[in-house]
């Protein structure tokens, strides 16, 4: 697989490097998309005329702000808040908020850039953005999390609106945090604007199946990929990295399709359960008690073992679902997966595979699903939540889950057809990047220089 850019794109990438120094994650995301766009250099000259690629790489708005808050001990803490409103050609900015110590401008920009094309692929009328803070909710009391969220929203609210920018959750931002954020927004604005945040509780404007959507969507996409080759999940051995929302519900859907999930991880290590992960125990440990994978092993007894060295990708499997965080699977680990006979890798997190890992997997003929396609189930269901809020309606679980499955299969078919159209049959990376980009670019051409 070539790793060089089309000659007409290299100067643009050099500008991105110069304008955004010290932002390696953003550089990586931009390069990965640019690398797939070579067919458009000759076939869509109007994009160059309108400088579409340069404009896509420059966020429409970048907001950085101070977030002061008070601990339970009375200590004033200061964190940094971000919201990057990347592109609104297809609709209001849409993308999650991440609360994690690793959050910086580069990570938020890479996530926002990816979100533009991911949202485009859903077929829903939503643009792309991302936000968050370097605040760590782990180990904080509910009152401390509430005070932080209220301070964060006191600044961010002025930039939001159901027709402007609609955040959701991400790492470190779950139902608790969304509740505190929405409450403060409502308090400040004196409006019950349900569509301004997604991931809300079902009893106050949320959508059924939203919690499950990203994990379910990843497995649906992988299921569609296998189906092209007359295969399915039944009796497959699966390894899932992470043990948060995405990972848990990827496990749930994979098990429902007949797979055996034998390993999961968190920041403390990974657990191997050759008999198959006990989903109910996992949910109790992670969702109720906020515990570690070692607590899962303690709960199920000697059938499971905890490993704190090496990598979860050392565990042999048929299907690997990286669902933890960016750049968690490198080229060496990809080589181990290939050597152990992996058939399919589908990204449940945002850009969890390094460029080297992607090259190893694709060169080895492993079916590979990029996150901007296979991770799109969460934002697609968020858009369905916005739709329900706009119509003052609430759908049952089966209706929303059915729509989610249709959307993921449509994304799969779009990626496959686009890759075929542009001379890269079966290449989901090329198909996802081209299909997502073309839709955004056509809208930008139509709207003029703005």
Binding site as annotated, residues for substrate: 94, 115, 118, 169, 382
- H or E element: which one contains 307? strand 304-307
DSSP 108-139: HHHHHHHHHHHHHHHTSS--EEEEEES---TT
Note the residue count of the chain. 450
DSSP 423-446: T-TT-HHHHHHHHHHHHHHHHHHH
Residues 370, 68: Cα–Cα separation, whole Å? 37
Q: How far is CA 311 from CA 105, 276, 337, 360, in A?
A: 28, 19, 11, 17
200 is catalytic: no
* Local structure of residue 162 (DSSP, 8 states): T
Alpha-carbon Rg for the chain, nearest whole angstrom, is 21
Please, what is the end-to-end C-alpha distance for the chain in angstroms? 36
Q: Give the pairing of strands 93-99 and 165-168.
A: parallel
- Residue numbers in the known binding site for NAD(+) are 214, 245
Residues 432, 441: Cα–Cα separation, whole Å? 14
- H or E element: which one contains 273? strand 269-273
Extract the tokens encoding 368. Answer: 């590979």
Instruction: Kindly name the residue from 109, 130, 200, 439 that is annotated as catalytic.
Output: 130
- Residue numbers in the known binding site are 94, 115, 118, 169, 214, 245, 382
Q: How far is CA 309 from CA 210, 220, 270, 271, in A?
A: 34, 31, 9, 11
Active site residues: 130
């Amino acid at each position: 697989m070539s790793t060089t850019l089309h000659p007409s794109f290299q100067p643009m990438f050099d500008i991105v490097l110069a304008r955004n120094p010290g932002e390696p994650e953003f550089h990586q995301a931009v390069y990965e998309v640019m690398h797939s766009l070579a067919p458009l250099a000759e076939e869509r000259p109007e994009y160059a005329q309108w400088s579409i690629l340069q404009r896509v790489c420059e966020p429409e708005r970048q907001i950085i702000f101070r977030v002061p808050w008070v601990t339970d001990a009375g200590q004033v803490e200061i964190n940094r808040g971000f919201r990057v409103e990347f592109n609104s050609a297809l609709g209001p900015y849409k993308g999650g908020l991440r609360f994690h110590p690793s959050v910086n401008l580069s990570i938020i920009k890479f996530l926002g850039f990816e979100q533009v094309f991911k949202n485009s692929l859903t077929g829903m009328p939503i643009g792309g953005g991302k936000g968050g803070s370097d605040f760590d909710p782990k180990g904080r009391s509910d009152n401390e999390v509430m005070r932080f969220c209220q301070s964060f929203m006191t600044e961010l609210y002025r930039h939001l609106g159901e027709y402007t920018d609609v955040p959701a959750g991400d790492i470190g931002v779950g139902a608790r945090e969304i509740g505190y954020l929405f409450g403060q927004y409502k308090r400040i604005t004196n409006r019950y604007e349900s569509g301004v945040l997604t991931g809300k509780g079902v009893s106050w404007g949320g959508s059924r199946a939203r919690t499950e959507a990203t994990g379910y969507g990843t497995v649906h996409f992988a299921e569609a990929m296998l189906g092209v080759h007359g295969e399915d999940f039944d009796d497959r051995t699966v390894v899932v990295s992470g043990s948060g929302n995405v990972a848990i519900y990827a496990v749930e859907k994979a098990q429902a399709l007949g797979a055996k999930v034998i390993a999961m991880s968190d920041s403390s290590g990974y657990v191997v359960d050759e008999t198959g992960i006990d989903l109910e125990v996992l949910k109790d440990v992670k969702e109720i008690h906020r515990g570690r994978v070692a607590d899962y092993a303690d709960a199920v007894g000697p059938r499971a073992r905890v490993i704190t060295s090496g990598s979860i990708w050392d565990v042999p499997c048929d299907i690997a679902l990286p669902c933890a965080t960016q750049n968690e699977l490198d080229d060496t680990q990809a080589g181990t997966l290939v050597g152990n006979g992996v058939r399919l890798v589908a990204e449940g997190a945002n850009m969890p595979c390094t460029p080297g890992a992607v090259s190893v997997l694709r060169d080895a003929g492993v079916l590979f699903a990029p996150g901007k396609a296979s991770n799109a189930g969460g934002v697609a269901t968020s858009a369905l939540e916005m739709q329900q809020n706009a119509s003052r309606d609430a759908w049952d679980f089966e209706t929303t889950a059915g729509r989610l499955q249709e959307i993921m299969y449509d994304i799969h078919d779009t990626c496959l057809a686009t890759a075929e159209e542009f001379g890269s049959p079966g290449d989901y990376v090329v198909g996802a990047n081209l299909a997502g980009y073309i839709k955004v670019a056509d809208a930008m051409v139509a709207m003029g220089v703005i």
